[in-house]
Amino acid sequence: MKKHYLLLLLLSALFGQLVAQDIPVSGLITAADDNSPLPGVTVLIKGTSQGTTSDLNGKYSLAAPSDAILVFSFVGMQTQEIPVNNKRVINVKLSDQDVALGELVVVGYSTTSKKLISGSVELLNEDEIKNIPVRTLDGVLQGQTAGLTITPQSGTPGGQNMMKLRGGSSINASNQPLLVIDGIPVITGQTSQVSMLGQELNAMTDINPNDIESMTILKDASATSVYGARASNGVILITTKKGSRGKTDVSLNMSYGWQNLPKERLIPMMSADDWNAYKGTNVQGINTNWMDEILVTAPTANTELSVSSGNDKFRLFISGNYYDQGGVVMGTSYQRYSGRINADYKILPNLTVGGGVGITYSNNKRVEGDATTNGPLPNAMSIPAIYPVFDSTGAYDETMYYANPVAIANNSINRAYTNREVGNVYLEYKFLDGFTFTSKFGVDLYDLREHSYDPTTTRQGKKYNGLGIEGTNYASNITVNNVLQYIHTFKEKHSIDALIGQSYEKYCRRTTYIEGINFPNDDLQYLTSAGTIRYASATALDRVMNSYFAQFKYNFKFKYIFTITARADGSSKFGENNKYGYFPAGSFAWRMSEEPFLKKISWINELKLRAIYGLTGNDGIGDFASLGLYGAGYNYGGSSGIAPTQLPNPDLKWETTTQTGLGFDFSILKNRITLNFDLYYNRTKDLLLERPIPSSSGFYTISSNIGQLENKGMEILLNTVNIDKAFTWTTNFNFAMNRNKVLSLYEDQPIDDQGRGGSRVEVGQPIGIFYGYNCLGVDPTTGSLVYEDLDGDGVITSADRMKTGDPNPDFTAGMTNVFSYKNFELSIFLQAVYGNDIFNGTLIYLESGTGEDAQTARMNDRWKKPGDITQFPKEGDSYKSSRFIEDGSFLKVRNITLSYTFKKEWVKHIGMKSAKIYGTVQNAYTFTNYTGMDPEVNYYGGSSNIVQGTDFFTHPQTRTFLIGLSFLF
């Protein structure tokens, strides 16, 4: 009887549903390529927001009207629409989207298929990042992409790099690309207050590269103009890892290594005997190699653990990282502890909430750097071998001109502690047919605390009876984005992808800085014990940006692709008369390979022609640069005072770069050879110029929009599979040329004599040429340096200067070759820069022939008596001349990695999915004619882009040997 009741109930239920015309539909969703079940696929009743998702086994069931159309969609797969037609079971096979349209790429505020991109966009995915042993973000990017140059300011742990895309669009404003993590622009640049001169901090080092799923580098206006006034230098979009669906992966990576300064790169110096002969001193029994005294072999270690898991509704990614990089100069190191949680949850089939947060704590032990007489490295290079480290009493010897570097390295305390939290929460709501509304809220909190103390056992500390500094920097950037997107394909031909959005950002920064002297005891190193507070300040800065943007993409049969983008940016930085800037861009791509006449040719897989035109902006000017201001702190005789600090310029605005680009993507022989080729011409106008004005006005400069410059260039990316048998060999090659030229300046007045090497900006020349005296050599009769008297007036004056060099390279290139056989893999990464000049400012002192500075061994060949023919003078002078200009071209064997992946059968028994062991040499060897320690360094001469290619006792990059293990459970 019970059965009958049940049957009756069931029938009545069925009857009820028949009235509503709903029937139960169920089925299995599998991947077309390997028939594996697909969990988490969205199944929607077309035209409604009702639906479900498939379960862990790929099964789904729902009630749907018998005449409905079901829409099956999944990220990375082609969406399918299937009419119910009274069927109760509908099994579906979904194909990978990239079969048709290539892998998905995150672009500004949306995701798109690689093949439908009409601009210049470069992608670096997880696999490529994973194979680079460098554990900082900018280190990962170095040499990997065409057109993005990354020059280390210094090889010190956690040190800053100078990034520049396509030659740099600006002279005085920032050239730093905009960095966006999971849709949230983050704080970059240097905020350290304790002056480290050349060893500044870098906010980018706080991000663990292992958390990155992909990096997209947006290079031209078609891709970047959706970021408007901050897009001129390109945009780097970072997407962090999400949890996996239906499985749990635990990944553990460990590496350990050693770093040193390549011995062959150190500059040979005079021995004590040489010095005695040179100076007429007579010091016996001492021959100190000061570099040996301060250089150490430094360990480095990295441990990363991550868990990725999830089901059809919930996904979770958790990671932790400990990174420890010792410094090769005694007293330096960098430690980073970081963690990340990313989670998302599908509340309804069409409603997802999610978020992520990355937390970092880092501890940077530093020493003073380049342009200081208190840095271990410059001091070690500058002290002659005749001085001992310790005097006869066992105390640090301080009788030499420069402070004892060993004392500084051992005793000076200099710490920077960073707390960094970058997080976001979002909601994604799909409605009607094809509409998605996304709202995202993000924060970036960057707290930096600096503590420094020079005890009386150092010369600096002794001078002040102890010198202590405390600095704090609290910066936050809060972002709100709202985006409405509509995607639809009409008649299976016309595809539309349109979005409009709004974004609001508020940046706040608060700093304090206190400096005290006269400490009673070296154990009391905090300022509460200071006898005298010498300097104290606290500052506040707020900045707001409010923006609206829209993008419309259309393609016809995936063949003709049009993109139009526009953004309006309002910024509190801009002058009264120009609060909002507008940045439109358009692009067109033609996938010729879709045309019938090319489809016939089977060896051509892809041929796409691209053209772009658009405007982008650069708002990297100082805050309040448009206002006429008085500053405080001009105190005298116990009274507080004020003084004018800035002239007003109410018209001040962003720089505008007009970008024009042409390119093609070509892929043949089953994609074994792919070639991307780009040509571009970028012209920047309204250059933000700290225009020098006569200082007889009481001001040095005024911020103004004057001047134009251009960058034109070519980029090639060539990826080939050379051998694809049991032995495989692949090559990734990138090549970039850029030509930079200043087109106009205010009344074409040059910006002259910047930095140590006489860098200059002049119309008709690239930014930052070296401009100085032309040294003709050493006069054999007097031993003095002779300079060319260009104007022939008999005396050497500033009018006798000329262009002596150009720090901009003719081309840059990178090449990675990967060889693999069975379970072995060998990867070799080479990087080359060609045709750039370096001003070797170190030699101003080390080949001066005068004073107390240690001299290079080459100075043993100096002029000694009339008739000597030599290039080294009896005594140098302070002219910034061609004498110090050297060719900075180099070829670096950046990385060699040999790895062995254990056989799956072996590791399966101990519960592992995979296991790998590898050994790496980073910066293995440098081929160069440059006589300084490293051709790849740049003295940090301030925030300007003008001072490039200047070496001044700069910390070279280190050579690193690493062994590592990675496991996947």
Partner 1 sequence: MKKIVYIFIALALTTLSCKKMLDIQPTDSISSEQAINDAAGVQKAITGAYYSLHDAGNYGRNMVIVEDLAADNLSWTGTMRDYLQINENLIAADNAIIDGIWTSNYDCINRVNNVLYRIDGISMSDDNRDLYTGDALFLRALSHFNLLNYFGGIPIKTMPTLDLSTINQARNSVADVYSQIIADLTTAEQLLPPKRPLGWASSFSAKALLARVYLTKYHLTGDVATATLAITKAGEVIGDGGFIMAPAFADLYNGNTTESIFEVVFDAQNSNRLAQYFFPVSLTGRYEVSPSPAFVEGFRTTDTVRFQASIAFDSKNLPYGIKYKDYTSGTDRVYVLRLAEMYLIRAEARAYTNGEIEAIRDDINVVRTRAGLDPTTAADYPELKLVIENERRHEFAFESQRWSDLVRTKRAATVLGIDPKYTLFPIPLSELQTNNLMTQNPGY
Footprint of partner 1 on 492-511 (CB under 8 A): 502, 504
Q: Which residue's entry shows tokens 């290039």?
A: 871
How many residues interact with partner 1 (rule CB under 8 A)?
Answer: 90
Shortest Cβ distance from residue 794 to partner 1 (Å)? 11
Q: Closer to partner 1 at the Cβ: 518 or 719?
A: 518
Q: Closer to partner 1 at the Cβ: 528 or 697?
A: 697
Binding of partner 1 by 297 (CB under 8 A):
no
Query: Between residue 845 and residue 874, which ones bind partner 1 under the rule CB under 8 A?
Result: 845, 851, 853
Query: Cα separation of 775 and 770, whole Å?
Result: 13
Interface pick for partner 1 out of 877, 912, 925, 968 (rule CB under 8 A): 877
Shortest Cβ distance from residue 341 to partner 1 (Å)? 21
Stretch that binds partner 1, among 113-121, 276-284, 610-618, 629-637 (CB under 8 A): 629-637
Interface pick for partner 1 out of 750, 777, 835, 919 (rule CB under 8 A): 750
CB 535 within 8 A of CB 501: no
Binding of partner 1 by 721 (CB under 8 A):
no
Alpha helices in 27-179 (DSSP H): 97-101, 126-130, 137-141
Shortest Cβ distance from residue 174 to partner 1 (Å)? 19
User: Within 10 Å of residue 347's Cβ, how many Cβ atoms?
Assistant: 11
Query: Cα separation of 188 and 84, whole Å?
Result: 53
Which structure tokens are listed for 646? 């800035």
CA 460, 529, 537 angle in degrees (round to 5)? 75
Binding of partner 1 by 629 (CB under 8 A):
yes
Query: Between residue 795 and residue 824, which ones bind partner 1 under the rule CB under 8 A?
Result: 795, 797-798
Binding of partner 1 by 283 (CB under 8 A):
no
Residues 6+ apart with CB under 8 A from 915: 901, 902, 907, 965, 966, 967, 968
Q: Closer to partner 1 at the Cβ: 125 or 645?
A: 645
CB 614 within 8 A of CB 586: yes
Q: Closer to partner 1 at the Cβ: 69 or 351?
A: 351
Tell me, residue by residue from 829 to 848, as one string, x for binding to partner 1 by CB under 8 A and - for no binding: ---------------xx---
Burial of 942 (0-12, 13-18, 19+ CB in 10 A): exposed
Binding of partner 1 by 602 (CB under 8 A):
no
Query: Cα separation of 119 and 223, whole Å?
Result: 6
Query: Between residue 656 and residue 675, which ones bind partner 1 under the rule CB under 8 A?
Result: none
Tell me, residue by residue from 238 to 257, as one string, x for binding to partner 1 by CB under 8 A and - for no binding: --------------------
Binding of partner 1 by 392 (CB under 8 A):
no
Write the DSSP string, 508-528: EEEEEEEEEE--S-TT--SGG
Amino acid identity of 272?
A
Tell me, residue by residue from 675 to 714, as one string, x for binding to partner 1 by CB under 8 A and - for no binding: -----------------xxxxxxxxx-x------------
Interface pick for partner 1 out of 390, 535, 727, 927 (rule CB under 8 A): 535
Stretch that binds partner 1, among 196-204, 315-323, 324-332, 628-636 (CB under 8 A): 628-636
Binding of partner 1 by 794 (CB under 8 A):
no
Interface pick for partner 1 out of 439, 489, 512, 765 (rule CB under 8 A): 439
CB 853 within 8 A of CB 845: yes
Annotate 696-732 with three-state secondary structure: HHCCCEEEEECCEEEEEEEEEEEEEEEEECCEEEEEE
Interface pick for partner 1 out of 285, 394, 596, 637 (rule CB under 8 A): 637
Binding of partner 1 by 763 (CB under 8 A):
no
Tell me, residue by residue from 464 to 483, as one string, x for binding to partner 1 by CB under 8 A and - for no binding: xx--------------x-x-
Shortest Cβ distance from residue 956 to partner 1 (Å)? 22
Binding of partner 1 by 636 (CB under 8 A):
yes
- What are the angstrom distances between the C-alpha of 252 and each of 44, 362, 912? 38, 21, 11
CB 689 within 8 A of CB 706: yes
Stretch that binds partner 1, among 19-27, 321-329, 534-542, 776-784 (CB under 8 A): 534-542
Binding of partner 1 by 520 (CB under 8 A):
no
Stretch that binds partner 1, among 117-125, 165-173, 411-419, 644-652 (CB under 8 A): 644-652
Binding of partner 1 by 578 (CB under 8 A):
no
Stretch that binds partner 1, among 415-423, 461-469, 677-685, 902-910 (CB under 8 A): 461-469
CB 142 within 8 A of CB 894: yes
Shortest Cβ distance from residue 784 to partner 1 (Å)? 12
Binding of partner 1 by 463 (CB under 8 A):
yes
Amino acid identity of 807?
P
What b/e sequence results for 756-776 when a residue is b if at least 16 CB atoms lie within 10 Å of its CB, and e otherwise?
bbbbbbbeebbbbbbbbbbbe
Stretch that binds partner 1, among 252-260, 458-466, 821-829, 928-936 (CB under 8 A): 458-466
What b/e sequence results for 627-659 when a residue is b if at least 16 CB atoms lie within 10 Å of its CB, and e otherwise?
eeeeeeeeeeeeeeeeeeebbebeebbbbbbbb
Shortest Cβ distance from residue 934 to partner 1 (Å)? 23
Annotate 894-952 with three-state secondary structure: EEEEEEEECCHHHHHCCCCCEEEEEEEEEEEEEEECCCCCCCCCCCCCCCCCCCCCEEC
The Cβ-side half-sphere exposure at 482, using a 13 Å CA radius, reads: 4
Interface pick for partner 1 out of 11, 598, 601, 643 (rule CB under 8 A): 643
Shortest Cβ distance from residue 634 to partner 1 (Å)? 4
Nearest Cα to Cα of residue 322 among 361, 281, 351: 361
Q: Is 886 helix (H, G, I), strand (E, B) or coil?
A: strand
**Alpha-carbon torsion (11, 13, 18, 22), positive or negative:** negative
Interface pick for partner 1 out of 347, 395, 601, 910 (rule CB under 8 A): 347
Binding of partner 1 by 826 (CB under 8 A):
no
